[in-house]
């Protein structure tokens, strides 16, 4: 699992911003705590359902858990950047929600793999678990994922330009994630996997509505 990275920010002085800098830092700590709590709850949730059979190393379920963990990890990184640096309050809130929610889902998927006796990484190529899935991988990136150049562009952006870029990138990211979720929903009959994947899809569809509305409001 790729751990999400937080970015350094320039401290703000109370004299300059009336204490908003301190409030933002406290808020960042709160989201960081929520990410950790979400991860722990995700691990716990993944242990609740006993199984008589276990998916194998090359199963649809194992491939989805591994690939979606990597996909989510990038969303967590982007979400934390938005919460820390976005100028628009709604964009900050969306970023924090995505970071904490998807970190919890990472915990659930990693717990599945452990409970199935499988390694976090497998022998299969990315997206091999999904019919024609490997054709969707471009330069090692799964559907919707940002390229290294795009991530660098997001890190360098400031102000409203950052907000609009984040919204556009996360819309693309979620659309790719939903494509992957549909793949596991079509192929899996594991009750816990199907239930969790459907919850993921519902959450990301709601996120997409909020992301698009924010982008429209900001004139993106």
Q: What is the pLDDT of residue 220?
A: 81
Q: What is the pLDDT of residue 14?
A: 41
Q: What is the mean pLDDT of residues 4-24?
A: 46
Q: Is residue 120 over pLDDT 50?
A: yes
Domains observed in the chain: 60-218 (1.20.1260.10)
Whose CA is closest to 212, among 91, 88, 71, 100? 91
Give yes or no for a contact between 181 and 134, defined as CB atoms under 8 angstroms apart.
no
**127-139 pLDDT, tens digit each:** 999 999 999 999 9
- pLDDT band at residue 13, thresholds of 50, 70 and 90? very low
Look at residue 47 and give its three-state secondary structure. Answer: coil
Q: What span, in angstroms and rounded, lies between the C-alpha atoms of 186 and 81? A: 33
């Amino acid at each position: 699992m790729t751990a999400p990275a937080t970015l350094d920010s320039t401290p703000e002085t109370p004299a300059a911003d009336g204490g908003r800098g301190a409030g933002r830092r406290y808020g960042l700590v709160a989201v960081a705590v929520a990410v950790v709590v979400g991860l722990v709850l995700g691990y716990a949730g993944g242990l609740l359902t006993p199984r008589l059979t276990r998916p194998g190393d090359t199963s649809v379920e194992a491939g989805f858990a591994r690939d979606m963990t990597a996909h989510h990890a990038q969303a967590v990184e982007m979400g934390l950047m938005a919460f820390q640096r976005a100028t628009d309050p709604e964009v900050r809130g969306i970023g924090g929600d995505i970071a904490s929610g998807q970190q919890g889902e990472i915990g659930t998927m990693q717990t599945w793999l452990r409970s199935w006796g499988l390694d976090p990484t497998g022998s299969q190529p990315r997206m091999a678990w999904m019919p024609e899935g490997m054709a969707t991988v471009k330069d090692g990136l799964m559907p919707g994922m940002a390229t290294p150049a795009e991530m660098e562009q997001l890190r360098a952006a400031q102000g409203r330009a950052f907000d609009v870029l984040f919204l556009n990138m996360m819309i693309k990211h979620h659309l790719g994630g939903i494509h992957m979720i549909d793949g596991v929903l079509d192929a899996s009959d594991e009750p816990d996997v199907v239930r969790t994947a459907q919850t993921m899809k519902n959450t990301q569809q709601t996120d997409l509505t909020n992301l698009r509305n924010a982008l429209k409001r900001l004139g993106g």
